[in-house]
Amino acid sequence: MPDPAVHVSRPLAIEARGLVKRFEGTLAVDGVDLSVPEGSVYGILGPNGAGKTTTLRMLLGIIDPDAGLRRVLGCERPQELAHAIGYLPEERGLYPAMKATEAIAFLGALRGLPLREGRRRGRELLERHGLGHAADRQIRQLSKGMAQQVQILGTLVHAPRLVVFDEPFSGLDALNQGRLEAMMRDLAAAGTTVIFSTHVIAHAERLCDEVAIIAGGKVPFAGPVDLARDRIPAQVRLETRAETGPWRAALPADVRREGRFWNFPLPESGVEPLLRALIEGEAGILSLSIERAGLHDAFVAIAGEAAARAMGATTPVEDGA
């Protein structure tokens, strides 16, 4: 992951401060702050109903916040930047009678791309992504997954500087999820900023430079993935030949025994003093590994068990199937 210090100096594609939104008296988003560096892959991570979609819609100018400020690509009126933004909403929708190429061109036209150019680019995109055979087929003749891929390509056809995906992996099988992840990486490598919402932690852990964790309309953490994972100490897994001895004093009080293994948080002093004590105490080290906390564990520590359980209620492939 990138060095956090690098992010401080990078220009921001999106900046939001204190965003608040209520619907009929219900507080949906409560003081959200976000800073999305240009050219990054940024994840908004949280369970369904946490406020992810409302936050994205406020950032894009689809709805206005009740309070707070937003700046997208340097502009405080994001609706004026339609030509520079690609948006895939959570609610998918294409005209069933349209051919795939025409559907892509139509979505591009909504963002200011001439239809003729949209048709040319649409056919090229379909070929590039293995869907050339579907170029002249109607949307109603495509599988749900293929139709979703057509809509994703329509989101990109006008070559936006910023792409916003709302739950983009829903309804895609494992193969097409992998293809979409690769596409996101390629976009960021080319300088496009990619922001996506998800309730599937694995996607965020594989893809994101930074994440915002959102729960109950609030953002308890926003920043580099490494900083989120560092909220939990690395865990040591130790296997020794000896059962006891003076080396035991080097293990922390909260050590857990699992069969032949000792499991405990890495001491603040680091691994070197631990190794010295184990060797000098003749523990007989058979194996020793240090495992850094994953993003799931970090999410639990930051957002709580209830939010984590809600996140795990649906698997990537099951969702939308």
Domains and CATH numbers, the chain: 4-224 (3.40.50.300), 235-291 (no CATH)
Please report the pLDDT score of residue 254 as a whole number. Answer: 86
- CA geometry: angle 120, 164, 168, nearest 5 deg: 85
Q: How far is CA 45 from the centre of its chain?
A: 6
pLDDT of res. 261: 93
Q: Write out the two tokens for 262.
A: 């000792």
Tell me what the pLDDT averaged over the chain comes to: 89
How far apart CA 212 and CA 89 sit, in angstroms, is 19
Q: What is the pLDDT of residue 9?
A: 63
Distance CA 122, CA 107 (A): 10
Which residue type does 60 have?
A: L
Q: Report the distance separating Cα 127 and Cα 27, nearest Å.
A: 45
Low-confidence ranges of the chain (pLDDT < 70): 1-9, 312-321
Structure tokens at 175: 């193969």
Per-residue H/E/C for the chain: CCCHHHHHHCCEEEEEEEEEEEECCEEEEEEEEEEEECCCEEEEECCCCCCHHHHHHHHHCCCCCCEEEEEECCECCHHHHHHHEEEECCCCCCCCCCEHHHHHHHHHHHCCCCHHHHHHHHHHHHHHCCCHHHCCCEHHHCCHHHHHHHHHHHHHCCCCCEEEEECCCCCCCHHHHHHHHHHHHHHHHCCCEEEEEECCHHHHHHHCCEEEEEECCEEEEEEEHHHHHCCCCCEEEEEECCCCCHHHHHCCCCCEEECCEEEEECCCCCHHHHHHHHHHCCCCEEEEEEECCCHHHHHHHHHCHHHHHHHCCCCCCCCCC
Q: What is the pTM of this model?
A: 0.81
Contacts of 1 (CB under 8 A, 6+ apart): 209, 224, 225, 226
Distance CA 54, CA 247 (A): 54
Q: Is 318 left (phi over 0), alpha (psi -120 to 50) or beta?
A: alpha
CA 286 – CA 259 distance, rounded (Å)? 14
- What is the strand order of the sheet 67-72 is part of? 26-37, 12-23, 67-72
- Residue 47: its pLDDT value, please? 87
Type of residue at 211: V
Alpha-carbon distance 195 to 280, whole Å? 51
Sole residue written with tokens 């999820």: 177
Q: Which residues pair with 71 in a beta bridge?
A: 15
Question: Do 211 and 45 form a contact (C-beta atoms < 8 A)?
Answer: yes
Cβ atoms < 10 Å from Cβ of 50: 26
Whether the Cβ atoms of residue 77 and residue 61 lie closer than 8 Å to each other: yes
pLDDT of residue 312: 64
What are the residues facing 290 on neighbouring strands? 236
